[in-house]
Structure 1
Amino acid sequence: MKKKISPDARRSVTFPKYTTQLMNLANQTVKGTIPKMVGQMSELYPEYRRSTEEPSVEGWEKWYLERNPDTIDRATDKICHHIDRLREAIGLIDRDMIRNWVEDLVIFKTYQGLYYQQLILEEIAAERGEPWRLATPEEEAQGVDGYVGDQAYSVKPSTYKSMDRLPETLHGKMVFYRKNAAGELVFEVEE
């Protein structure tokens, strides 16, 4: 079935190229628009809808701002402060720094991550007494890093736990690793 719905007229804001990407990045970092800052929209909007027979963007704006008069400014200030920090950092970036970053990512971090994956899968396999293998490119595209027996594993640095939005969908049992103060590789398999 194909249908069209005509939405209410709304204010349309056009932003210059790349600016929304930078504002989104800053907002993700400082969490300027999380529910704790601006309210739980999935609760507030239905409350607004129950309060009126003629909902509109203007009505929503008035209703929201009456209940949260400083919220937009507080979120804006928080994000703006981080944009200032990004602006300073961007000024430090040159071609040499970018090349060093790409080399670090492609050569060193890739080697380290894949090496750790292999060590961890080997250790799990030895513990379970089963064979192991790395994922095929097709399996890897689905968020699987390897198998021990028939069990799929996704092996990631422990920093993945704190990410708001993962860069990929992960499948299989999760394994998180980190290096401790002594430089040893420590990992945990989530059940």
Structure 2
Amino acid sequence: MKKIKITNDKITSLLTAESPSFPKYATQIINLANQNAGGTKPKIVGQMSDLIQQFEGNEFKKWEEWYLAQHPNAIQKATEKIVEMVENLKDVMTKIDQEMIEMWVRDLVIVKTFVGLKFQEAILKAVADDLKTNYRLAEPEEESKGIDGFVGSQAVSIKPQSYEAKNALSEQILVPIIFYEKMKDGINVYFEDSLLTSQ
């Protein structure tokens, strides 16, 4: 069986679409600015996947004319939003020095690793605060029984929300489970109101 790969550049040339060339790193900076500015979001340029389906031709030039007739100001609006963000990036570039980069690397390597991987205590503390009681992490012999910590005197296990969906669980957990879901901006924690009366 034969396998072929067609690159995006090749697709562009096969479809006779005109794709410009950019200086090195330029597209990465414009892309970053666009992510922050939201310049090409559907509310500005339209829902592209739907629009391309509505277009009934096969020629690139006809598509360009059709799109610009539908959204005459979209390119300009998107450009303005991205230009503003590029200016913001230019301004901050002059403030980024070795000291700031070192702070960023330290935060990523040391702080975010710790916070990202050792968040069980934060979950226990948040649940204990909510239930107006104390907490503690499990001792090694308690961990061997599937216990991650205690809220008040109640032993608990802490598991990702995806754990609930796994049907064939090899381990049997005999204590209440506090579920968590990692989000971009933190952790969502789920537990039963009756947690302290579970014992």
Question: TM-score under structure 2 normalisation?
Answer: 0.60
Structure 1 or 2, whichever has the larger Rg, is: 2
Residue 22 of structure 1: CA displacement? 1.0
Correspondence list, 1:72-91, <5 A: 72-91=75-94
Paired-residue identity, % = 38
Query: 2:83, 2:157 → 1: CA distance?
Result: 52
SS in 1 for 2:182: strand
Query: 1:56, 1:113 → 2: CA distance?
Result: 49
Q: Work out which of the residue numbers 5, 16, 20 in structure 2 matches 1:13.
A: 20
Between 103-112 and 122-131, report the one with greater CA deviation: 122-131
Query: 1:113, 1:34 → 2: CA distance?
Result: 30
Correspondence list, 1:100-111, <5 A: 100-111=103-114
Residue of structure 2 equivalent to 1:189: 190
Residue 159 of structure 1: CA displacement? 1.5
> Does the C-alpha gap of structure 1 residues 132 and 65 become closer, same or farther in structure 2, counting only changes over 3 Å?
closer
Between 114-123 and 64-73, report the one with greater CA deviation: 114-123
Query: 1:91, 1:148 → 2: CA distance?
Result: 56
Q: State whether structure 2 residue 123 is matched by structure 1 residue 120.
A: yes
Paired AA for residue 90 in structure 1: M
Residue of structure 1 equivalent to 2:37: 30
Query: 1:23, 1:4 → 2: CA distance?
Result: 27
> Does the C-alpha gap of structure 1 residues 126 and 72 become closer, same or farther in structure 2, counting only changes over 3 Å?
same
Residue 131 of structure 1: CA displacement? 4.6
Residue of structure 2 equivalent to 1:167: none
Query: 2:60, 2:89 → 1: CA distance?
Result: 32
Question: TM-score under structure 1 normalisation?
Answer: 0.63
Query: Is residue 39–residue 78 contact of structure 2 (8 Å, CA) maintained in 1?
Result: yes
Query: 1:156, 1:91 → 2: CA distance?
Result: 34
SS in 2 for 1:100: helix
In structure 1, runs of 5+ residues without a counterpart are 135-146, 161-174, 177-187
Correspondence list, 1:1-191, <5 A: 2=3, 7-49=14-56, 52=57, 55-120=58-123, 126=150, 129=155, 131=157, 149=173, 155-156=181-182, 159=185, 175-176=187-188, 188-189=189-190
> Does the C-alpha gap of structure 1 residues 46 and 132 become closer, same or farther in structure 2, counting only changes over 3 Å?
closer
Query: 1:62, 1:78 → 2: CA distance?
Result: 23
Residue 81 of structure 1: CA displacement? 0.6
